[in-house]
Amino acid sequence: MKRLIVYIACPFALLLLSRTLSAQPAPLVKVKVSVDSQKIVIGQPLQLMVEAFVQGNAPLTWPAIDSLPHFEWLEKGQLDSVVKPDERYYRQRFVITSFDSGAWAIPRLPFTSGHKKYFSDSIRIAVNYSRFDPSKDFHDIKDIIDIPNPYAKWIPWGVAAVTLIALALVVWLVLKKKLIQRAAAAASAPRLSPYEDAIRQLEELHKQGAGGDGQIKIYYTRLNDILRLFILRKLGIASLAETNEELIGQIRRLPLTRKQFDELAETLRMADFVKFAKYQPATADNEHNYQVIRQSVEHLNAIGQEEEKDEIEKKQNKPTT
């Protein structure tokens, strides 16, 4: 009977011995929870540091610290770690406070490594009201303190800039409206014929007069330009790009009397003398030359009208194919 018991117990003993020899020793884990003070007043921040030291490369499960009874979270730091060849160090910082007066405990926090749990020590925290000294005067709640605005000094400059921009915009809109009105009036006004435009300009120049020595050159230049523009518009002769001598050659081909041509040629040469040789004609000469230009405009206008009439008759008498 004893041999039977020995035979039955030996296998179990060998199995237990093999498991004991094959099992690895549990890793060394140290956990620690500390605070910067164990006495606070209501609402005072409290620094809470959670640390863990793990031997070798053993895995560690960090506790899920979601809430603490009687405490409020103010800040949750990141989980930091320091890895060494033979040790790992973990650390996480929290900032908490409490609005419940009394003595409260930060509970034990569970850490897991392998199949074993490790618990930190609980910490007692005393939460009290701030001390009140009845012998001192009562201090009421302070008024709101105005914080100086660093940009306040730029506000007047900004208002001034906006005002100037608005004023400039108003002036621009008013001027634009006037220009549009003038352009509309000019567009709606009937356009003068070459003859009417030349006579109008000559009459305005005659009212202004030749003036003194400094104005005589401007007077003859205007006389010359009025005649040139009229010849271009009425007769189609490119008179603006020619000298007066070239213009005289062009006028020679027109059906003017000998007297009309000679007087106009003499007036054009007189304009060159005044403009380029600084010649000072007499007052009577100025009036005479003005009348020559005006009469020439009238004669040339009549010639232009005859040419236009002949052109119309040719178109009307042209046989149709």
pLDDT top residue among 25 and 71: 71
Tokens standing for residue 318: 């042209």
Burial (CB count within 10 angstroms: exposed 0-12, middle 13-18, buried 19+), residue 130 = exposed
Q: Are residues 114 and 219 in the same domain?
A: no
How many helices (H) and strands (E) are present in the chain, helices listed first?
7, 10
Q: Are residues 202 and 306 in the same domain?
A: yes
Model pLDDT for residues 177-213, shown as the tens digit of each residue: 888 777 766 555 567 888 889 899 988 988 888 776 6
- Full-model pTM: 0.41
Model pLDDT for residues 214-273, shown as the tens digit of each residue: 688 888 899 999 988 988 888 888 888 888 888 888 888 888 889 988 999 999 898 888
Residue 12: predicted pLDDT: 57
Last residue of a domain, one of 73, 104, 128: 128
Altogether, the residues listed in the chain come to a count of: 321
Q: Could you give the CA distance from residue 122 to residue 6 in angstroms, rounded to a whole number? A: 51
4 within some domain:
no
Q: Could you give the CA distance from residue 76 to residue 89 in angstroms, rounded to a whole number? A: 18
Q: What is the mean pLDDT of residues 126-133?
A: 80
Q: Are residues 124 and 199 in the same domain?
A: no
Q: What is the largest CA-CA distance in the chain?
A: 173
Q: 252: domain range? A: 194-310
Model pLDDT for residues 89-124, shown as the tens digit of each residue: 889 999 999 988 889 999 998 998 878 888 989 999
Q: Could you give the CA distance from residue 188 to residue 157 in angstroms, rounded to a whole number? A: 46
Last residue of a domain, one of 105, 128, 151: 128
User: Mean of the per-residue pLDDT values for the chain?
Assistant: 82
170 within some domain:
no
Last residue of a domain, one of 128, 156, 180: 128
Residue 133: predicted pLDDT: 64
How many structural domains comprise the chain? 2
Tokens standing for residue 31: 């956990």
